[in-house]
Amino acid sequence: MFNKEIETLPLAQLRKLQSERLVKLVERVYAKVPFYKNALDQKGIKPSDIKSIEDLHKLPFTKKTDLRDQYPFGFLTLPENDLARIHCSSGTTGKPTVVAYTKKDVEIFSEVVARSLAAGGAKPGMKLHNSYGYGLFTGGIGLHYGAEKLGMSVIPVSGGRTDRQIQLLKDFQSEVICCTPSYAQTIAFELEKQGISLSELNLKYAVLGAEPWTDAIRKDIETSLGVKATNIYGLSEVIGPGVSQEAYDEQSTGSYIWEDHFFPEVVDKDTGEPLPYGEEGVLVFTTLTKEAMPMLRYWTNDICSIYYDESKSRTHIKMSQIKGRADDMLIIRGVNLFHTQVEEVFKDCPQLTPNYQLVVTKDGVNDRVEVKVETSQDYQKEIALAGGFTDEEVMSHESLLYLNRDLCKKIKDATGLSMKLSLKAHGKIPKSEGGKLQRIVDLR
Amino acid sequence: MFNKEIETLPLAQLRKLQSERLVKLVERVYAKVPFYKNALDQKGIKPSDIKSIEDLHKLPFTKKTDLRDQYPFGFLTLPENDLARIHCSSGTTGKPTVVAYTKKDVEIFSEVVARSLAAGGAKPGMKLHNSYGYGLFTGGIGLHYGAEKLGMSVIPVSGGRTDRQIQLLKDFQSEVICCTPSYAQTIAFELEKQGISLSELNLKYAVLGAEPWTDAIRKDIETSLGVKATNIYGLSEVIGPGVSQEAYDEQSTGSYIWEDHFFPEVVDKDTGEPLPYGEEGVLVFTTLTKEAMPMLRYWTNDICSIYYDESKSRTHIKMSQIKGRADDMLIIRGVNLFHTQVEEVFKDCPQLTPNYQLVVTKDGVNDRVEVKVETSQDYQKEIALAGGFTDEEVMSHESLLYLNRDLCKKIKDATGLSMKLSLKAHGKIPKSEGGKLQRIVDLR
């Protein structure tokens, strides 16, 4: 552990620390940030109403649109010339989102990344091959500073040029790599293609993040790179990578949230009401210690659950893997559903095209989902040729009934929900015209 | 000044400091780096022979090929797990060149860059728009750490996406930009194209480097970006950017070399003999303080002169602008000549093609240069049409004599050397076949 005292702080003490920090934080943002003064005033909340972390739910949420509205520096609690660093999101859709740091914020950022790397297996003296992009994106520099703080030797490779990445992995014998899970797979693929054996490398740990991934991907990466692979989670608006991290010896049990700095809640995506530990909803963070641009209840839009895992080595709370984005989540008969769960079922099915829609209706008090998906031209032809059928006859052929039954079972297994499945002829579901296809038609 | 005490240290004290540091350095590399032990042994030099900075010339040179031969870690003075960071060159031609840093080396790097930025006009609290590439290249991270040390607010933009760079320059109102001179020109060009007035920006200083540039380019950038533009010089093998820096109020008088850390010499490119202050030759650096991978007399291959400028604010030595690379330098009758100086004369001359050659011969003790250059097809046609001349008649037409006389004068003005000029018909000088054209034919 990088900071054993804090990472194993008894919960009561952690709560005390969080409460003290929250009280100061609310005073600070009320005095310094007009956006928060207005938001608290509108709710009729005074800073003095916030006496402990228990009062957190009284505070307003902060959403990404608020950050955009306050672009560039509306959320600052201090003058611009007291800043140490400014990052921002790529701003592909309109104005970028600005995130600003004081020197102390950069130190906090380094501390939580150092803890995360250590939890991921890294030790002082090891080499970190850092393939996260350096620049305005917080990934590269974030991991860089954390590794430096931990006492590693950092190789600031940044992204791209996989050939060179592999040469450096071989020549420098780095023990730890950090990048996105998909880039780890790219490197593994390239190693295999070039016939490079794992014995030529010295990788032991991979700290992967910046995109959702699964245990199946983990298994693939662990085998193909010869590493223990763990999840690092974060977002620039909160601080960057290092908001939470999975321990390498507690894989698949969730990622520790460094809750002395980032207080998490999971709330109902529609009502904003806090949900009990273990229930899935929108992850929300309050930055208890950030100076330049603290956030009250920042709405990450990520769906997961949080819970204490008392059998584990640290006292901090854990979060589950991210299931998806809140604006993609349906609640069907009380069960959370992402259309991507259904997509997963269809993915490796050659009888279908990737074109599908979920139509949600209400039948009395019950939600009903109809899944419409296209059969592929090849599959239709195959049936037609075999029996000399017309187009119409093909679509009512019995093999489609078997396929339908099979898919319904797989969907039930994957989602926990029974759905009606309608197989449509090729071309019968509207295609995306440039933009994103409307996968969900919610008629409730 | 960032570090007034050191930047204005009386020369006698600077010499004393340099001597103490050199003695320790030689002991260290002799004991730790087999390459240096061998090189000293071969010269019959013992560490105890090095008593002061005056003995520096006894030591062997280190060349880029030596770094390649010792790839990756042959030059390390300590175990790999004592390193804090590893950079390397792009390695487009074979193995990359590795440069390694301890924590203390990174601190020295930050210190000299902080001094450089301050000399370039930057002050604590100002925003630095850092457009140098981040990653394995030392430019981006080098400037980043230096600016942080100076107390600036760093915007780690890295290279590319000029549109976004301009948006951030406008929105964040950065006072200082650092990048290559050519990228500064690209940004200026884009500003003009988009009709953005300088009053919408807040730029005051530009710290430019990583490529040779001229006072003409400086003038262009200063006008088009509304800045004071200064030169920063460095190379990864020595430490990165920040080896030397021009002061913003002493422009065009040379760049200060931070000689408490990097001891410079200028030597004859053929004999390696040290040259007196003010004479042009190859710049060579000894890193007096670097821990992980110190360099004895590193042969930069850059041509310039060094000199003390006693009327100026700091005591450290200055270097002139880089004239070119040693392997491109001719010595003609004692005068240094780069073929690019002749190329400059031809550049804006529509009567010529860009195809030329310099043929150097010896006539007794005297060097002679014949410049062969092609006339353009358009120019030949123009003469032929006007007088109904044959191809042969065109090439002896009197307008070519005038052109020849004019060019000879311009070459003499630009280089200080009289040369014979031969105008050749279009297509009469061999063209590059993929590779670089042999611009110089040295027959001495």
CB-CB under 8 Å, B140 with A91: no
| Residue B206 Cα distances to A97, A132, B182, B384, angstroms | 26, 28, 12, 50
Instruction: Name B129's bridge partners.
Output: B155, B177
Chain A touched by B172 (CB under 8 Å): yes
Mean pLDDT of chain B: 94
- Give the pLDDT of residue A434: 53
Interface mutation target, options A76, A78, A80, A81, chain B, most CBs of B under 10 Å: A81
Q: Six-digit token pair at A153?
A: 């030797």
Chain B touched by A240 (CB under 8 Å): no
To the nearest whole Å, the CA of B218 is away from the closest chain A CA by 27
Q: Using a CB-CB distance cutoff of 8 angstroms, which residues of chain B are in contact with residue A92? A: none
- Give the pLDDT of residue A435: 52
- Give the pLDDT of residue B348: 80
Considering Cα of B417, then B420, then B426, then B431, what sign does the dihedral take?
negative
- Give the pLDDT of residue B29: 98
- Strand, coil or helix: B219: helix
**Which CATH number is correct for B330-442, 3.30.300.30, 3.40.190.10, 1.10.238.10, 3.30.1490.20?**
3.30.300.30
- Closest to A404 in 3D by CA, of A426, A372, A358, A431: A372
- Give the pLDDT of residue B432: 63
Q: Which pLDDT band holds residue B194 (cuts at 50, 70, 90)?
A: very high
Range B255-281 average pLDDT: 97
Q: Do domains B56-322 and B330-442 have the same CATH topology?
A: no
- Tell me which fold the domain A56-322 belongs to: Rossmann fold (3.40.50)
CA-to-CA distance for B232 and A144, rounded, in angstroms? Answer: 25
pLDDT tens, residue order, chain A (444 aa): 999 999 999 999 999 999 999 999 999 999 999 999 999 999 999 999 999 999 999 999 999 999 999 999 999 999 999 999 999 986 655 678 999 999 999 999 999 999 999 999 999 999 999 999 999 999 999 999 999 999 999 999 999 899 999 999 999 999 999 999 999 999 999 999 999 999 999 999 999 999 889 898 999 999 999 999 999 999 999 999 999 999 999 999 999 999 999 999 999 999 999 999 999 999 999 999 999 999 999 999 999 999 999 889 999 999 999 988 898 888 898 888 988 889 889 988 999 988 899 999 998 888 999 999 999 999 999 999 888 898 888 998 999 999 999 999 999 998 989 999 999 998 888 776 555 567 888 898
Domain boundaries, chain A: 56-322, 330-442
Q: Which pLDDT band holds residue B434 (cuts at 50, 70, 90)?
A: low
Q: Which among B82, B144, B153 is the nearest to A81, CB-wise?
A: B153
pLDDT at B435 over 60: no
What would the pLDDT profile of B361-394 be if each residue is shown by its tens digit?
998 888 999 999 999 999 999 999 888 898 888 9
Considering Cα of B138, then B143, then B145, then B149, what sign does the dihedral take?
positive
- Give the pLDDT of residue B331: 87
Q: Which among A72, A155, A157 is the nearest to B172, CB-wise?
A: A72
CA-to-CA distance for A25 and A29, rounded, in angstroms? Answer: 6
> What is the side-by-side strand order in the sheet with A176-179?
A306-307, A318-319, A255-257, A240-245, A228-235, A205-209, A176-179, A127-130, A153-155, B85-88, B98-101
Q: How many CB pairs under 8 A join A and B?
A: 100
Q: What is the ipTM of this complex?
A: 0.86
Q: Which pLDDT band holds residue B89 (cuts at 50, 70, 90)?
A: confident
Q: Using a CB-CB distance cutoff of 8 angstroms, which residues of chain A are in contact with residue B167? A: 91, 96
- Closest to B306 in 3D by CA, of B330, B275, B329, B334: B275
Range B64-79 average pLDDT: 96
Interface mutation target, options A89, A104, A106, A153, chain B, most CBs of B under 10 Å: A153
Contact residues, A window 47-76, toward B, CB-based 8 Å cutoff? 71-72
- Closest to A236 in 3D by CA, of A280, A272, A285, A281: A285
Range B173-186 average pLDDT: 96
Contact of B297 with B62, CB cutoff 8 Å: yes
What would the pLDDT profile of B196-228 be if each residue is shown by its tens digit?
999 999 999 999 999 889 898 999 999 999 999
pLDDT at B436 over 80: no
Contact of A285 with A238, CB cutoff 8 Å: yes
To the nearest whole Å, the CA of A128 is away from the closest chain B CA by 9
- Give the pLDDT of residue A92: 56
